[in-house]
């Protein structure tokens, strides 16, 4: 075994590849070799570290020093100055630090470092090496499940942890598993919904690219708990790197006997397949996803029957989101009580947020349930860009709710937000500064939904079309007061009668925009004489 | 070189790809559930889904032609028109839209002289829109082939496009 | 039993009963649009939403089973307002040129708009006008009227397993079309018209030939003969408000005569003739043991289906033409000869419960007479329109007989219109042909009725013949798969004779029937045909005096060379891509 003095982690994701990460990596390796440091310094690829827009990012361990906007030309300076002489290259040190690794412990008011749950390994380990995952306690969860918990114990542990699905619908995970485990039918299936299509969300991508084994272990645990031998990862077609890394990870897991027949002599067999989506937002809805997985158009099915009793090929099926499954190995490894140490009583754990829009540092953060919107924006995302004023945020994705300044101190969790008729959804937070045009925002949201409506039911297919025509009219200055009333009326009918959540949820951005920005919207239409 | 000659050339190449499609289909013979997977592979081969390829897939997987066509026209990813050598996609997701991607798209249409969904006559570029590519932190973003461009402003476009032959 | 209340009326329902049906039993008809009694609910329109106490939101009555203790409300202010909004949304994307629509007064959307009280258009008409698909000789599709309820697809894909129509594209651009949007005429469509009779609006209708027929009727140089299919006599009354299944044979003849047809003849006559030809074919095959089972060939929808999906079975097909085409070939030969009319001046019109017959009469090979054997096919709906235009009301007509010499028929012919009828008629005559004795009890009940595939074993004087009857192409597909499987594995099938009708219920359920069809109505019409059978003095095809005369004077004997030339046909292999004939390899 080599005694490595320094690790240089290079963040490889779609953004950094674009910025030339591969060239930087090559330059670093070449320079290290040239300086004869090959045995002492290891260059490792890691997933996204959650900071965007900072070019090629590298981290040097053990110091944990971040460099940003690194170019191939900088390689010799970094190697010679920092790695050889121990003098950090000041001009390259990242100034806008990603704050994701900081998790706030509300009870003590202290900032607790390295307490991430879902993103614990992302950006830290080499996602293409199973050993690194194992070194971080990976696959200990499944071992504990096999030796100590058994399937019923896994479900109980998840139940005690209070984990709810992170995909948007906020359904209790243990209940889903319990239903599926008790449902008659064989075989049973586990599906991971990795068709991350919510505009402004790329949290799943970070997990997939940065820590694919965590997802694999989560799916194994789900399979073990409900008695499924086969899992499918339905992944967004555009996530090329995620697909590549997942497939690599699956191959490695098979090689280690962690996937396949009779895993670790437990008698439990489980295997995974990756299925590429083909671009349809509605396939985020679990029954539409199942239709798509069966090779069909992604039209949602009627519920009931729910997938837990009649899912893929009519068999009991659990569909969980990436983030949900990524919580599972940590819960099983550390226990429900440990998990409940994070978040609130009703909503334990953390939430991964994608913060975009007019903030100083857009990116991904993981924060405890119950963190306020204010903290997320000002503590983690560096506040509003260019010192402008906060106007509002669209929280929960395109079909989420707008929140005005009066909601800044609302505690963000599934239960609490419900009281404000808002949703956590997928955890997308689009922050708007004072210059943002609210009608323009609505226009974008409504156009998106018209484009992504599957066309099956009348309210969604024709409602979105009318909504788009009306909002375009308002944006073009030709709207009337009645047009605003029509927006509300149509979206209410869609909420009440749409076949699936896609159409049902559009009322939320419309009603919330009027709740917080009523005057602005009414100011945009022709005033009655 | 005349346009006509180029087209024939493309057709000849297309003909040569059908045996390869046949191989792909063989692996999934009779498995209707693999339809989307096979269409992905077919589109990788041809760059789009020619009519004949759709017919072969329908027959090989034992699904009706209508089902194949229905699936192709449902998903954003599949195309039934020939694609250019370089696929230009402008993101119109909320984050990008708010940061001015419509302007980028308008400029791209003008620059290339084609509309969304179209291919330039020399088959150098195809233009399309996407709804969020998961690069919201880089808004407004666009994709050329596999390359992601972030913080794109319309004056950048000619330089970006020129990189792709 | 589940107990619940609907608008405070207490009801009991079997577990699994939808709220829609439970409400109907309680006396409340919940308005619907996409729902159809014979099809699975798809939940597209949302019109049938109801409120259930304690359950948030609105629920679709069509797909929500009534639960224990449910307190359902079907027309609260919220529900009524919602329904109005939904209908307005539908109208925002629907051509509302009702007065010029083929479905005017028969349109379920029109009725719904009136029921929920739409009196203003709040929303702008959105979307471009799309081209009307006129590529098929049988069926026209107008996407501008389509409301995407999906009924047509359900019958086309699930009931018929034809898969000509499908939902294509997505969202607001969603359209129901054929593959590549190529049009019905360039698709695997078998022209059965089940899509047409299930369409709630005017998006699907037959390609009309009324103008051409009017022209012929008004042309003094033409001699216009008309034939009516067995099923039409139990359908036509419905066009004039008579109860479903009213038997109007005599009134039909009278009305046609008054409309101006020069000779009112009968498809039933050639139905009897078909039995003579097909029955003789059956005896030959039973004797030789070759190409069994023999499969019937009366249904042109079935023929195209077979040519497309089961062309390996062509040798098993009866070569006998359908009664319509036998009639056509005889009208311009035998009839012209006997009556001394120039066949070139004869215009041959048929009244059919069927849209596929329009396709059949235009098949290039259907010219055995030296002319187009059948010139125009009219559906029951079209002849109903023509009669109304001429001020004729079938209800008020006297009973009149058909004209000679192609007009006589037996009870065996009339039951051709119901599923199992051809089989029953064939057995009645085959018995005689084989044994020389008459079958005492002519009613073969096991092949009657609307259950799926019907089977029977018939003892013909010691020879046991196993028969099967399938109605709808979906059932035919199942049966034929089984037959093919048996032939492959065991060298022969358990069946010797198979009847297939393309439409559920047989011709009484054809694509040319009156609007507003369902299985109950089809069953009622079938019963009426059996009633007519019972009421007729002759009930066996080989007893038809005019048929016997035809053989004596013209055809010599069944399956003679002349009979073969005029009354038999051949089949093609068709492509599963576009339904076109494949060049012989």
pLDDT tens digit sequence for B107-139: 999 999 998 888 898 889 999 888 666 666 677
Residue pair C500/C299 in contact (Cβ under 8 Å)? The answer is yes
What is the C-alpha separation between C417 and C512, in angstroms, rounded? 13
* pLDDT above 80: residue C405: yes
As a whole number, the mean pLDDT across chain B is 85
CATH code of the domain covering residue B143: 3.40.30.10
More confident residue, C242 or B76: C242
Q: Specify the DSSP class assigned to residue A384.
A: B
Asked if the Cβ–Cβ distance from B64 to C166 is below 8 Å, we say: yes
The string over A42-77, giving b where at least 16 C-beta atoms fall within 10 Å of a residue's C-beta and e elsewhere, is bbbbbbbbbbbbbbbbbbbeeeeebbbebebebbee
Q: The tokens of A111 are what? A: 């900032």
pLDDT band at A102; cut points 50, 70, 90: very low
CA distance A239 to chain B (A): 8
Domain ranges in chain A with CATH number 3.40.30.10: 6-92
Q: Could you give the residue numbers annotated as active site of C?
A: 278, 281, 298, 318, 357, 360, 365, 507
Helix (H/G/I), strand (E/B), else coil: C521: helix
Which residues is C6 bridged to in the sheet? C9, C72
Residue C505 has a pLDDT of 97
pLDDT band at A106; cut points 50, 70, 90: very low
**A440, closest residue in chain B (CA to CA):** B98
Choices 2.60.120.650, 3.10.20.740, 3.30.365.10, 3.90.1150.10: CATH for C2-91: 3.10.20.740
What is the mean pLDDT of the segment spanning C235-244?
A: 97
Residue pair B147/B133 in contact (Cβ under 8 Å)? The answer is no
Assigned architecture for domain C128-206: 2-Layer Sandwich (3.30)
Residue A144 has a pLDDT of 96
What is the mean pLDDT of the segment spanning C216-230?
A: 98
Q: Are strands C166-168 and C263-264 parallel, antiparallel or unpaired?
A: unpaired
Q: Residue for token digits 């690069």?
A: B135
To which H or E segment does residue A110 belong? strand A110-113
Is the CB of B77 inside 8 Å of chain C's CB atoms?
no
What is the C-alpha separation between A47 and A62, in angstroms, rounded? 18
Residue pair C505/C450 in contact (Cβ under 8 Å)? The answer is yes
C454-460: strand order across its sheet: C294-295, C497-501, C463-471, C454-460
Asked if the Cβ–Cβ distance from A239 to B36 is below 8 Å, we say: no
What tens digit of pLDDT does each residue of A461-486 get?
A: 999 999 999 999 999 899 999 999 99
What tens digit of pLDDT does each residue of A219-276 get?
A: 999 999 999 999 999 999 878 888 999 999 999 999 999 999 999 999 999 999 999 9
Q: Which of A456, A237, A240 is nearest to B77 (CA)?
A: A237
* pLDDT above 90: residue C353: yes
Q: Which of B54, B55, B67 sits opposite C166 (nearest CB)?
A: B67
Q: Which of B59, B65, B74 sits opposite C179 (nearest CB)?
A: B65
Asked if the Cβ–Cβ distance from C166 to B69 is below 8 Å, we say: yes
* DSSP state string for C380-432: HHHHHHHHHHTT--GGGPPP-PPPSSS----HHHHGGGSTTHHHHHHHHHHHH
What is the C-alpha separation between B134 and B94, in angstroms, rounded? 11
Residue A399 has a pLDDT of 84
What is the C-alpha separation between A439 and A524, in angstroms, rounded? 8
What is the C-alpha separation between C470 and C475, in angstroms, rounded? 6
Q: Which of C5, C164, C172, C143 is nearest to C74 (CA)?
A: C5
Residues B100 and B67 in one domain: no
Contact list in A for residue B63 (CB cut-off 8 A) is 295
* pLDDT above 90: residue C468: yes
Q: The tokens of C126 are what? A: 């959105």
Q: Which of B106-110, C234-238, C246-250, C378-382 has the least mean pLDDT?
A: B106-110
pLDDT band at A105; cut points 50, 70, 90: very low
pLDDT band at A358; cut points 50, 70, 90: confident
Residues B31 and B69 in one domain: yes
Contact list in B for residue A436 (CB cut-off 8 A) is 98
Q: Which of C367, C366, C335 is nearest to C262 (CA)?
A: C335
What is the mean pLDDT of the segment spanning A266-288?
A: 94
Residue A113 has a pLDDT of 38
Residue C53 has a pLDDT of 96
Q: Which of B151-155, C85-89, C521-525 has the least mean pLDDT?
A: B151-155
Q: The tokens of B58 are what? A: 């329908």
What is the C-alpha separation between C377 and C359, in angstroms, rounded? 9
What is the mean pLDDT of the segment spanning A10-32?
A: 83
What is the C-alpha separation between B145 and A12, in angstroms, rounded? 18
Residue B158 domain-assigned (yes or no): yes
Residues B30 and B59 in one domain: yes
Asked if the Cβ–Cβ distance from C178 to B66 is below 8 Å, we say: yes
Q: Residue for token digits 């749950």?
A: A117
Alpha-carbon distances of A499 from C80, C152, C178, C426, C470, rounded to whole Å: 18, 20, 25, 50, 36
- Structural domain range at position B68: 3-74
pLDDT band at A385; cut points 50, 70, 90: confident
What is the mean pLDDT of the segment spanning A58-69?
A: 79
Q: Does domain A6-92 have CATH number 3.40.30.10?
A: yes
* pLDDT above 60: residue C226: yes
Alpha-carbon distances of C407 from A115, A117, C218, C418, C468, rounded to whole Å: 93, 87, 23, 20, 30
Q: What is the ipTM of this complex?
A: 0.92
What is the C-alpha separation between B68 and B57, in angstroms, rounded? 8
Backbone angles phi, psi at A413, to 5 degrees: -155, 170
Alpha-carbon distances of C272 from A32, A205, A267, C441, rounded to whole Å: 97, 72, 70, 19
Residue A66 has a pLDDT of 81
C9-13: strand order across its sheet: C9-13, C2-6, C71-73, C49-52, C55-60
* pLDDT above 50: residue A369: yes
* pLDDT above 80: residue C267: yes
Alpha-carbon distances of C461 from A148, A394, C246, C427, C435, rounded to whole Å: 75, 84, 38, 12, 7
Q: The tokens of A286 are what? A: 């679990």
Q: Does domain A130-338 have CATH number 3.20.20.60?
A: no
Helix (H/G/I), strand (E/B), else coil: C345: helix
Residues B48 and B116 in one domain: no
**B62, closest residue in chain C (CA to CA):** C576
Is the CB of A278 inside 8 Å of chain B's CB atoms?
yes
What is the C-alpha separation between A127 and A183, in angstroms, rounded? 35
What is the mean pLDDT of the segment spanning C312-327?
A: 97
Q: Which of C57, C89, C174 sits opposite A459 (nearest CB)?
A: C89
| Structural domain count, chain B | 2
Residues B9 and B59 in one domain: yes
Task: Give just the sign of the alpha carbon dihedral A511, A517, A519, A522.
Answer: negative
For chain C, the straight-line distance linking the first and the last C-alpha, in angstroms and rounded, comes to: 62
pLDDT band at C270; cut points 50, 70, 90: very high
More confident residue, A138 or B96: A138
Residue B46 domain-assigned (yes or no): yes
Contact list in C for residue B70 (CB cut-off 8 A) is 166-168
Radius of gyration of chain A (CA): 24
What tens digit of pLDDT does each residue of C294-311 get?
A: 999 999 999 999 999 999
Domain ranges in chain A with CATH number 3.10.20.600: 350-430
pLDDT band at A114; cut points 50, 70, 90: very low
Is the CB of B103 inside 8 Å of chain C's CB atoms?
no
Residue C465 has a pLDDT of 93
Q: The tokens of A529 are what? A: 């004489």
Which residues is C471 bridged to in the sheet? C501
For chain B, the straight-line distance linking the first and the last C-alpha, in angstroms and rounded, comes to: 16
What is the C-alpha separation between C430 and C439, in angstroms, rounded? 9
Residue B115 has a pLDDT of 86
Q: Residue for token digits 């900081």?
A: A102
Q: Does domain C211-567 have CATH number 3.40.50.1820?
A: no
* pLDDT above 90: residue C187: yes
CA distance A153 to chain B (A): 34
CA distance C488 to chain A (A): 30
Residue pair C294/C496 in contact (Cβ under 8 Å)? The answer is yes
What is the C-alpha separation between A132 and A125, in angstroms, rounded? 6
Residue C51 has a pLDDT of 97
For C343, how many CA atoms within 13 A lie in the half-sphere containing its CB? 19
Asked if the Cβ–Cβ distance from C179 to B59 is below 8 Å, we say: no
Q: Are strands A110-113 and A102-105 parallel, antiparallel or unpaired?
A: antiparallel
Class level of CATH domain A438-523: mainly alpha
* pLDDT above 60: residue C89: yes
**B73, closest residue in chain C (CA to CA):** C169
Residue B80 domain-assigned (yes or no): no
Q: What is A350-430's CATH topology?
A: Ubiquitin-like (UB roll) (3.10.20)
Which residues is A105 bridged to in the sheet? A110
Asked if the Cβ–Cβ distance from B69 to C180 is below 8 Å, we say: yes
What is the C-alpha separation between A181 and A309, in angstroms, rounded? 9
pLDDT band at C585; cut points 50, 70, 90: low
What is the mean pLDDT of the segment spanning C545-560?
A: 96
CA distance C538 to chain A (A): 54
Which residues is A60 bridged to in the sheet? A8, A65
Q: Which of A93-107, B70-84, C520-534 has the least mean pLDDT?
A: A93-107
CA distance B16 to chain A (A): 26
pLDDT band at A107; cut points 50, 70, 90: very low
* pLDDT above 90: residue A51: no
Asked if the Cβ–Cβ distance from C126 to A465 is below 8 Å, we say: yes
Within 8 A by CB and 6+ apart from C317, the residues are: C295, C297, C303, C306, C571
What tens digit of pLDDT does each residue of A193-224 get?
A: 999 888 767 788 889 988 999 999 999 999 99
Within 8 A by CB and 6+ apart from C120, the residues are: none
Contact list in A for residue C41 (CB cut-off 8 A) is 302
Residues B17 and B37 in one domain: yes
What is the C-alpha separation between A467 and A475, in angstroms, rounded? 12
- What percentage of chain A reaches a pLDDT higher than 90? 58
Helix (H/G/I), strand (E/B), else coil: B100: coil
Neighbours of C357 (CB within 10 A): 31
As a whole number, the mean pLDDT across chain A is 88
Which residues is C166 bridged to in the sheet? C177
What is the C-alpha separation between C530 and C465, in angstroms, rounded? 23
Domain boundaries, chain C: 2-91, 128-206, 211-567
């Amino acid at each position: 075994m080599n005694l490595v003095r320094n690790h240089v982690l290079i963040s490889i994701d779609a953004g950094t590849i674009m910025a030339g990460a591969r060239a930087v990596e090559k330059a670093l390796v070449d320079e290290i070799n040239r300086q004869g440091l090959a045995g002492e310094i290891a260059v490792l690829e890691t997933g996204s570290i959650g900071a965007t827009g900072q070019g090629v990012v590298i981290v040097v361990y053990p110091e944990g020093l971040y460099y940003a906007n690194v170019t191939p030309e900088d390689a010799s300076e970094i190697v010679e100055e920092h790695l050889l002489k121990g003098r950090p290259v000041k001009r390259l040190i990242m100034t806008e630090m990603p704050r994701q690794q900081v998790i706030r412990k509300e009870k003590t008011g202290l900032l607790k470092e390295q307490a991430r749950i879902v993103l614990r390994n992302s950006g830290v380990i080499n996602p293409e090496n199973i050993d690194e995952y194992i070194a971080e306690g990976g696959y200990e969860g499944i071992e504990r499940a096999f030796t100590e918990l058994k399937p019923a114990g896994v479900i109980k542990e998840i139940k005690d942890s209070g984990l709810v699905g992170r995909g948007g619908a906020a359904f209790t995970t243990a209940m889903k598993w319990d239903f599926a485990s008790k449902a008659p039918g064989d075989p049973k299936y586990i599906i991971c919904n990795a068709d991350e299509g919510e505009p402004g969300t790329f949290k799943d991508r970070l997990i997939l690219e940065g820590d694919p084994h965590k997802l694999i272990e989560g799916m194994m645990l789900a399979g073990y708990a409900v008695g499924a031998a086969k899992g499918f990862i339905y992944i967004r077609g555009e996530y090329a790197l995620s697909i590549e890394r997942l497939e690599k990870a699956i191959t490695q897991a098979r090689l280690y006997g962690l996937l396949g027949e009779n895993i670790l002599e437990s008698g439990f067999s489980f295997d995974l397949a990756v299925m590429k989506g083909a671009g349809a937002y509605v396939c985020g809805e679990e029954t539409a996803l199942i239709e798509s997985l069966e090779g069909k158009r992604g039209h949602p099915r009627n519920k009931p029957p729910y997938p837990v009793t009649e899912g893929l090929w009519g068999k009991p099926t659990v569909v969980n989101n990436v983030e949900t499954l990524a919580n599972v190995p940590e819960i099983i490894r550390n226990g429900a009580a440990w998990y409940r140490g994070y978040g609130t009583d009703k909503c334990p754990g953390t939430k991964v947020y994608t913060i975009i829009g007019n903030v100083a540092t857009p990116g991904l953060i993981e924060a405890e349930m119950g963190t306020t919107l204010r903290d997320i924006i000002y503590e983690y995302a560096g506040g509003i860009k260019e010192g402008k004023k906060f106007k509002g945020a669209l929280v929960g994705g395109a079909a989420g709710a707008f929140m005005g300044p009066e909601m800044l101190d609302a505690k963000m969790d599934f239960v609490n937000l419900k009281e404000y008729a808002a949703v956590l959804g997928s955890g997308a937070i689009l922050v708007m500064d004072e210059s943002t045009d609210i009608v323009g925002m609505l226009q974008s949201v409504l156009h998106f939904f018209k484009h992504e409506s599957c066309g099956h039911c009348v309210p969604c297919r024709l409602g979105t079309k009318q909504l788009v025509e009306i909002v375009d009219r308002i944006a073009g200055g030709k709207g009337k007061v009645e047009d605003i009333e029509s927006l509300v009326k149509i979206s209410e009918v869609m909420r009440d009668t749409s076949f699936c959540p896609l159409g049902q949820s559009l009322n939320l951005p419309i009603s919330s925009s009027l709740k917080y920005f009523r005057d602005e919207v009414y100011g945009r239409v022709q005033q009655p004489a | 070189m005349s346009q006509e000659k180029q087209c024939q050339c493309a057709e000849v190449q297309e003909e040569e790809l059908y045996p390869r499609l046949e191989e792909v289909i063989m692996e999934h013979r009779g498995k209707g559930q693999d339809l989307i997977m096979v269409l992905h592979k077919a589109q990788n081969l041809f760059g789009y889904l020619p009519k004949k390829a759709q017919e072969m897939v329908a027959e090989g997987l034992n699904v009706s032609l209508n089902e194949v066509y229905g699936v192709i026209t449902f998903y954003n990813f599949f195309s039934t028109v020939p694609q250019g050598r370089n696929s230009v996609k402008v993101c119109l997701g909320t984050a990008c839209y708010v940061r001015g991607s419509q302007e980028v798209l308008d400029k791209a249409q003008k620059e290339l002289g084609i509309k969304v969904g179209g291919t330039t006559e020399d088959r150098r570029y195809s233009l399309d829109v996407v709804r969020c590519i998961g690069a919201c932190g880089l808004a407004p973003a666009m994709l050329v082939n596999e390359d992601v461009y972030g913080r794109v402003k319309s004056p950048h476009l000619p330089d970006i496009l020129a990189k792709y032959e | 039993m589940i107990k619940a209340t609907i608008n405070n009326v207490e009801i009991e329902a079997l577990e699994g009963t939808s709220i829609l049906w439970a409400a109907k039993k309680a006396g409340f008809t919940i308005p619907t649009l996409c729902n159809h009694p014979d099809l699975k609910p798809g939940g597209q329109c949302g019109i049938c939403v109801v409120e259930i106490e304690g359950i948030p939101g609105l629920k679709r009555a069509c797909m929500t089973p009534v639960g224990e203790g449910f307190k359902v409300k079907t027309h609260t202010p919220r529900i009524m307002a919602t329904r109005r909004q939904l209908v307005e949304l539908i109208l925002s994307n629907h051509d509302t040129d009702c007065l010029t629509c083929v479905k005017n007064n028969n349109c379920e959307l029109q009725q719904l708009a009136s029921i929920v009280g739409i009196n203003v258009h709040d929303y702008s008409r959105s979307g471009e006008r799309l081209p009307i698909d006129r590529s098929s000789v049988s069926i026209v599709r107008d996407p501008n009227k389509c409301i995407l309820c999906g009924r047509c697809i359900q019958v086309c894909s699930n009931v018929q397993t034809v898969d000509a129509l499908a939902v294509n594209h997505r969202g607001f651009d969603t359209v129901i079309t054929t593959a590549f949007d190529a049009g019905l005429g360039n698709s695997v469509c078998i022209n059965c018209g089940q899509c047409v009779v299930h369409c709630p609006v005017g998006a699907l209708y037959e390609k009309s030939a009324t103008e051409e027929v009017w022209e012929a009727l008004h042309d003094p140089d033409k001699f216009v003969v008309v034939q009516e299919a067995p099923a039409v006599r139990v359908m036509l009354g419905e066009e004039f408000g008579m109860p479903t299944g009213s038997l109007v044979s005599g009134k039909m003849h009278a009305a046609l005569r008054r409309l101006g047809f020069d000779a009112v003849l009968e498809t039933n006559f050639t139905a009897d003739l078909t039995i003579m030809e097909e029955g003789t074919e059956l005896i030959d095959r039973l004797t030789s043991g070759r190409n069994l089972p023999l499969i019937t060939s009366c249904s042109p929808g079935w023929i195209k289906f077979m040519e497309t999906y089961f062309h390996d079975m062509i040798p098993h097909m009866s070569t006998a033409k359908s009664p319509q085409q036998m009639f056509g070939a005889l009208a311009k030969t035998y009839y012209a000869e006997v009556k001394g009319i120039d066949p070139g001046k004869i215009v041959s019109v048929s009244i059919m419960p069927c849209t596929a017959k329009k396709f059949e009469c235009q098949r290039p090979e259907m010219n055995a007479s030296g002319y187009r054997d059948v010139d125009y096919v009219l559906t029951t709906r079209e002849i109903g329109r023509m009669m109304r235009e001429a001020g004729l009301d079938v209800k008020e007509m006297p009973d009149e007989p058909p004209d000679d010499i192609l007009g006589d028929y037996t009870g065996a012919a009339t039951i051709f219109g119901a599923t199992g009828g051809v089989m029953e008629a064939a057995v009645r005559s085959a018995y005689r042909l084989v044994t020389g004795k008459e079958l005492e009890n002519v009613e073969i009940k096991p092949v009657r009725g609307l259950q799926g595939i019907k089977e029977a074993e018939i003892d013909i004087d010691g020879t046991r013949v196993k028969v099967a009857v399938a109605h709808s192409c979906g059932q035919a597909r199942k049966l034929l798969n089984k037959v093919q499987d048996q032939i492959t594995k065991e060298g022969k099938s358990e069946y010797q004779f198979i009847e297939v009708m393309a439409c559920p219920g047989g011709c009484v359920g054809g694509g040319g029937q009156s609007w507003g069809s369902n299985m109950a109505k089809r069953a009622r019409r079938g019963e009426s045909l059996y009633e007519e059978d019972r009421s007729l003095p002759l009930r066996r095809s080989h007893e038809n005096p005019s048929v016997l005369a035809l053989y004596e004077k013209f055809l010599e004997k069944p399956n003679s060379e002349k009979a073969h030339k005029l009354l038999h046909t051949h089949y093609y292999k068709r492509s599963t891509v576009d339904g076109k004939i494949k060049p012989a390899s």
